[in-house]
Amino acid sequence: MDFPILGRKVHGKRLVYLDNAATTQKPRQVIEAITRYYEEYNSNIHRGIHALSGQATAAFEGVRKTVANFIGVEDPATIIFTRGTTEAINLVSYSWGEKNLKPGDEIVLSIMEHHSNIVPWLRFAKDRGVILKYVELTPEGRLDMEEYRKLLGPRVKLVTITHMSNVLGTINPIKEITAEAHRVGAVVLVDGAQAVPHVALNMGDIDCDFYAFSSHKMLGPTGVGVLWGRRELLEEMTPFNYGGDMIRQVHRDHAEWNDIPWKFEAGTSNIADVIALGVAVDYLQEIDMENVHRYEEDLGVVALRTLRDLPGVKVYGPTTMENRGALFSFNVGDIHAHDVGTVLDQEGIAIRAGHHCAMPLMQYMKVPATARASMYIYNTREDIQSLAKAIVKAQEVFSKPAMVK
């Protein structure tokens, strides 16, 4: 079994892991890559002249090429390693935003954004008088593209938007969104945290300006992320952090920055986990992302039908699997999502319950929270049936009259 954790039991039941939008499980190959680094060639990178440092540097920098190829990028130097999607977005916020956003400028984003793609821009609204404009949704939970076009104008300097919603599963038409934004001269930043693990990507085809994603949502370790950016933009941007590899020379009264990507990679990198990310990418490429997407789409059709057929269950988001991921937010009657999650946990089923770091979307949907089941390559139709049975169990538990003393 490539995923050892899936062999364990929870509360005496077979583990059914359906919390993949939060983080995915790791194949044995990824786990072994981390162990191998620490056991065989643990060393700092770039500056060492001994054999271990050379081996570590080659392995680390090799991942840059691997990731570049994975997302259809020809220039590995435009791949910057971060701690995750959140840090990647914050890097753009500070290094690009500080220089380019002025009072009265506008930022267009969607109501379905994760907090990580809202809060950095709220700072500019508060401190600099930048105006945030939110694109709302169609009744089905898709981005209202007609409204989006109306929001675009000469004052819009940035469009920052999720590729795939972590609540609704909606896959946004990023290529079209980017083309429309470029017509008014806006820069486009895409939060790809939920999309990269599930769909084949080509940055040249999408044509956005920045793209951010995380390792841990695509079979890799936590604490590693990627920011891809256009070379001309990255070269104009100032560093985000200072010290270590981001420096070329330091004098008493000034310093010179390193070339990209190292200009944005201050301090000692998360070497072992970057190397393991490369192994995760290799694992996905061996399966082929087209196959990943096709498998999840087929699984999603079954899951969507199964959930919608359950009495009292409301599923949010697109009603078909067209331009939709295998991620399903739902509520069960008037049972709170946390209570649903608790009952499901007792049945060995791991889901997420809450606002999913998308409180503006919850407010827009007029719900306090949802339960969320999200699927990945190791999930099966049997898992979907287990989920359905556990939801029925939750309904039975909460339909019993309370004991009166």
Residues serving a catalytic function are 357
Number of C-beta neighbours around residue 204 at 10 A: 10
Alpha carbons 280 and 274: distance in angstroms, whole number = 10
| The length of the chain, given as a count of residues | 405
Phi, psi of 108 (to 5 degrees): -105, 125
Residues 6+ apart with CB under 8 A from 279: 29, 30, 33, 220
Alpha carbons 162 and 111: distance in angstroms, whole number = 10
Q: Are 260 and 77 in contact (CB under 8 A)?
A: yes
Alpha carbons 249 and 287: distance in angstroms, whole number = 44
Alpha carbons 206 and 172: distance in angstroms, whole number = 12
Alpha carbons 390 and 395: distance in angstroms, whole number = 9
* Long-range contacts of residues 357-362, Cβ cutoff 8 Å, at least 24 apart: 357/114, 357/115, 357/116, 357/166, 358/112, 358/113, 358/114, 358/115, 358/165, 358/166, 358/167, 359/115, 360/111, 360/113, 360/118, 360/134, 361/111, 361/112, 361/113, 361/165, 361/167, 361/168, 362/167
Alpha carbons 183 and 197: distance in angstroms, whole number = 29
